[in-house]
Chains A and B, each alone.
Chain A
Amino acid sequence: MQDFRKISENDNVAVALRELLPGVQVIVDGGAIRINDRIEFGHKFAIKEISKGSGVVKYGEIIGEATSDIKPGDHVHINNLISLRVRRAH
């Protein structure tokens, strides 16, 4: 059983397939990433540096924009990711 799933080639986040605790190491595309936060099943963590204002990519598509600098292993969720669609609608 895998610990996580990177869905698409260009994704900069992966989905945890079980709870991952801080300090755990996962191997993504041959490189080691240390998990920084508690990542629950189904939640996302960064697998690349994502700087503030740049796109978060899942399914090979931009799912929103980083609201702060995100490091590999960080939990990526509503605390540091905002929809571009919502902003456009308002």
Chain B
Amino acid sequence: MKDIKGYWNDDGKVGIRNSVAILPLSVFSGVAALNISNAVEGTVPLLHPHGRAEIGLNRERFHRNLVNQVLNPNVQSALLVGYEHKTTEKYLAEIRSKTKKRIESVVVLDKGTIESVAAGTKLAMDLSSAASEVTREPMSPADLCIGIKCGSTDGTSGIASNPAVGAAVDRVVSLGGTAIFSETTEIMGAEDVLSKRALNSEVAAKIMNAVKSNEEYALNLGVDLMGVNPVPDNIEGGISTIEEKSLGAILKSGTSVIQDVLPFGGIPNGKGLYFMDSPSAAQEVLTALTSAGSQLILFSTGLGNPSGTPISPVIKVTGNRYTVKRIPEHIDVDVSGMIFEDMQRSEAGDKIYEFMLKVINGKRTKAEILKHREFSPVPVGL
């Protein structure tokens, strides 16, 4: 097997990228964060329109996502760009208590945007310089945590890209690694099947409850999720029922035992396969999967989906040959041979796995090259 190497950080964890995260703590410090990041090589901005007056569950999710992004192994160090002192100090103290990485901060309300950019640029230069001294050292597949996502699904997803991704996921898990799949609305109708793969009855109940509470939340808003799914384009593509749609979607998780159910952006406390209770919009799921510690993400798509993350590479896999021809700039791995030729699931899984190893060792994915750095720490949809 090919050797893989990554960047070991001060937490004793290994990243496959070596970024300095420039993290605005509020919508108002986004401009400063963007300017700092534009000025300094080796940094990535995590721009978002939040951090003011969120309440309840969304406040909790926002907070968890911001803190956990910095903990992701792909982040070597971070600059927090706060808006006001109290909140900035609170984040700084909490993050420093959870990581040994170097974390710096500036506060925009102190001296205004222009001077915060100047001060932040100096700090970020220093962080970037230190990060660039870290070199790639050997790591093992057991050090991997991969996120799993599907989006812009079509008739090819359930018979090609999803099972192919599932085969690659099985391989990572069998080598001692960790994998996380999510999208609660995409397991509706298949939760009975999925819960049979749970580690124990407690985890099985968590899976069933995730679906139930999602359904009830929507019903309280006057929306019957069962009545609107499958959506018209799914039906046109040949999908008849919610069971059929979800049974196709869960194939991307492979066949491993499900260890536990994570909250949106929560970090798993062991190895193996996990399910995350989350909405299904790509930018929200990708954010939550990187918060959970995914160093890379396998993304199964039919029609092609451009999305990426600021800190973890996203590998797009499709079984749709026409998508590969139409928008090659959004596809990394073509498994259309599963439909149009005699490519087997295991063969397609190996193709994805081999590509993954290259990405781990530094090959850039299409979303990375195009700087698709969507970041959405507060979910809006279901």
Contacts and interface: CB of A to CB of B under 8 A. Distances in A.
B340 A42 contact: no
Contacts of A17: 339-340
Interface residues of B, number: 27
Most-contacted residue by chain B among A1, A81, A83, A84 (CB, 10 A): A83
Given A41-B155, A86-B226, A64 B241 contact: yes
Nearest to A88: B226
A16 B247 CA distance: 18
Given A5-B159, A83-B241, A59 B248 contact: yes
Given A15-B159, A85-B188, A89-B226, A40 B238 contact: yes
Contacts of B155: 15, 41-43
Interface string A69-88: 00000001110011111100
30 contacts: A5-B339, A15-B159, A17-B339, A40-B238, A41-B238, A42-B156, A42-B238, A43-B155, A43-B238, A59-B244, A59-B251, A61-B193, A61-B243, A61-B247, A63-B240, A63-B241, A63-B247, A77-B235, A77-B238, A78-B235, A78-B240, A81-B240, A81-B241, A82-B241, A83-B189, A83-B242, A83-B243, A86-B226, A86-B227, A86-B242
Interface of A: 1, 5, 7, 15-17, 40-44, 58-59, 61-64, 76-78, 81-86, 89-90
Given A64-B240, A64-B244, A78-B240, 9 more contacts: A40-B238, A42-B237, A61-B190, A62-B243, A78-B235, A83-B243, A85-B242, A86-B226, A86-B242
Interface of B: 154-156, 158-159, 188-190, 193, 215, 224, 226-227, 235, 237-238, 240-244, 247-248, 251, 339-341
